[in-house]
Amino acid sequence: MNRGSSAASCPASAPGDSQGSGLGRRVCSNCRKVLRQEKKIRVSLPLTRGPSAFIPEKEVMQANSLNERMHLLVEEFSTSGRLDNITRVMGLHTQYLESFLRSQFYMLRMDGPLPLPYRHYIAIMAAARHQCSYLINMHVDEFLKTGGIPEWLNGLEYVPQRLKNLNEINKLLAHRPWLVSKEHIQQLVKTGENNWSLPELVHAVVLLAHYHALASFVFGSGINPERDLDTSNGYRLISVNNFCVCDLANDNNIENSSLTSNNFEISDSLSELEALMDRMKRLQEEKEEEEEEASQEEMDTRFEKEKTESLLVVTEAFDDEIGSIADVSRYVEDPGFGYKDFGRRGDLPTFRAQDYTWENHGFSLVNRLYTDIGHLLDEKFRMVYNLTYNTMATHEDVDTTMLRRALFNYVHCMYGIRYDDYDYGEVNQLLERNLKVYIKTVTCYPERTTKRMYDAYWRQFKHSEKVHVNLLLMEARMQAELLYALRAITRHLT
C-alpha cells in the first residue's frame, strides 16, 4: 500500500485562525514542519465513513445489522441512549460487549459511593491524560445531563479541591501505575473537609482505570468521531484523537485499503501466518514432551530478558506535550508526565503476581468497598481472556489459548508484573516485532496509534480478530492499573 510522506499529500486545508485545538497534534512530523511555517493553517480532515477509520464500514455494519442481541443490550445498558461507535465496533464480539456494557453502566448509573456528575468528570479527567477527545466529548454531555455544574468544564481550577486531589493518582495510574503507594492513598483519605472515603476512592480508581484503558481501545480501533450536524461541507476540523491527516488521506479508499495488496504482500503475509501456526504447534509439542519444567532461575532469566527487550520496542516519535491543546489541557495537571519503561528503574522491584492476585486479593477488596463491582469486573476479565472462536485467519479448529495468554502477559510485563508460572520465552516466539510495536503503542501511548501500525501486523487476520486483540490489551491494562492501586489500598489498611 503506497503512502507518501510529503505534506503535499494531505487533504486540502482551510485557512482560518490559529485557535483550532487540534492544530498540529495528530499530524505526522513532515506535515508538522509545514504547519509550523503556516501558523494560520487549520487542518481539516474528510470524515471517513463508518465507526472506525481502520476497519471497512461494511464489515462492522454487516455484523451490527444482524445482531439483535447487541441492540437489546444497548437499549438496556446504554448511558448515552444511542448506539455509539465504540459499541458498534465492540459489537463484533457480542459476548464481551454484554460484560463491558453491564460493568460500565453499573459504574456510571447504578447506586454507588460517588454522585453521578463526579463519575462523568472523573471519566473526563482520565480520558484527558491520553488526549482522547472522543471520550471527553461524550462525558461532557453526560456530565451536564446528570446535573453537573457547567463552570467545572472551564478546567480543574473550577472544581472542588477533593476532585483536584485525584490529579496525582490519575497521572500515575495512566502512565506509571507502579509508583502508586500507600502514601498516595493516605493523602487522599486523611481526615479533613476534602478527604475521600475508601469506598469513594475505590469507585474513583475503578473509573480512572476503566477510562484510561478505554482510551487505548478508542485509539487502537481507530474509533471515528460520531457524525453530527455541525460538520462543515463534509469536513471536520482535526481533533486530538483523529489520526494523522496524511496517514488517512493516502489510504484514498478506506473501504478497500485492507484488500488492496500486491501478490508479494499477500504471499508474505500468508507465510507469516503459517510461521505463527508452526511456532504455536511447536511450543505446544515441546510443553507436552518436557519431562521437567524449567527451573525457577531459568524462568526468572526469561522474564528479565523479555522485560529488557520490551525497552527496545520503540514507537513513533511524537511531541507529547498536552499544554497547547486548550480543550484537553484544562483537565490535565503536569501534562509532560508520561509512560517511562518500567525496566529502566533498577530500584523498583518487579510486582510478583502471586503475591497480590486479582482473584485472591484485588477482587475481594474492591467488592467489599464498592459492592458488586468486583463480580462485574471479574466476569469481564474472564470473558475477554477466554473468548475464542477457535479460528486464526483462514484456519479453523485452532486452540488460541497460548496466543491470548502471550498478549495479556506481555502487557503486564511492560507494567512490571510477572507470573512465576509463565514462560516468557513464549512471548518472543509468538509476538512478532510489528505486533509488539502496536501493543506497546496502544497500551502505553495510545494517542500515537496510526493506521499504519494497525495494518502492519497480522495482515491475513480478520478485523474482528484485531478488535479482539484490542479488547485483550484494554482489559490487561485495566487489570494492571487496578492491581497496583488496590495493593496500595491494602497496604494502607494493614
List pLDDT tens digits, range 8-27.
Answer: 333 333 333 333 333 333 45
Spatial distance between the Cα atoms of 440 and 410, rounded to a whole number of angstroms: 9
The C-alpha cell that represents 162 in the structure block = 477533593
**pTM for this prediction:** 0.83
- Identify whether the C-beta of residue 181 lies closer than 8 Å to the C-beta of residue 349: no
For 360, residues 6+ apart whose C-beta sits below 8 A from its C-beta are none
Give me the pLDDT at residue 220, please: 98
420-462, pLDDT tens digit by residue? 889 888 998 999 999 999 999 999 999 999 999 999 999 999 9
Spatial distance between the Cα atoms of 5 and 396, rounded to a whole number of angstroms: 39
43-72, pLDDT tens digit by residue? 444 446 799 999 999 999 988 887 888 989
The residue type of 448 is R
Dihedral pair phi/psi, residue 391, rounded to 5°:
-130, 155
Catalytic annotation on 132?
A: yes
Q: What is the mean predicted confidence (pLDDT) over 299-315?
A: 63
* Given the residues 10, 132, 244, 413, the one annotated as active site: 132
Q: What would the 3-class secondary structure string for 47-104 be?
A: CCCCCECCCCHHHHHHHHHCCHHHHHHHHHHCCCCCCCHHHHHHCCCHHHHHHHHHHH
With bands split at pLDDT 50, 70 and 90, how would you rate the model's confidence at 246? very low
For the chain, give the longest Cα–Cα distance.
71
370-398, pLDDT tens digit by residue? 999 999 999 999 999 999 999 999 999 99
Spatial distance between the Cα atoms of 396 and 154, rounded to a whole number of angstroms: 53
The C-alpha cell that represents 421 in the structure block = 508460572
Give me the pLDDT at residue 43, please: 42
Other beta carbons within 10 angstroms of residue 10's beta carbon come to 25
The C-alpha cell that represents 128 in the structure block = 484527558
Q: What is the mean predicted confidence (pLDDT) over 148-164?
A: 96
Give me the pLDDT at residue 342, please: 78
pLDDT at 230 over 50: no
Give me the pLDDT at residue 304, please: 65
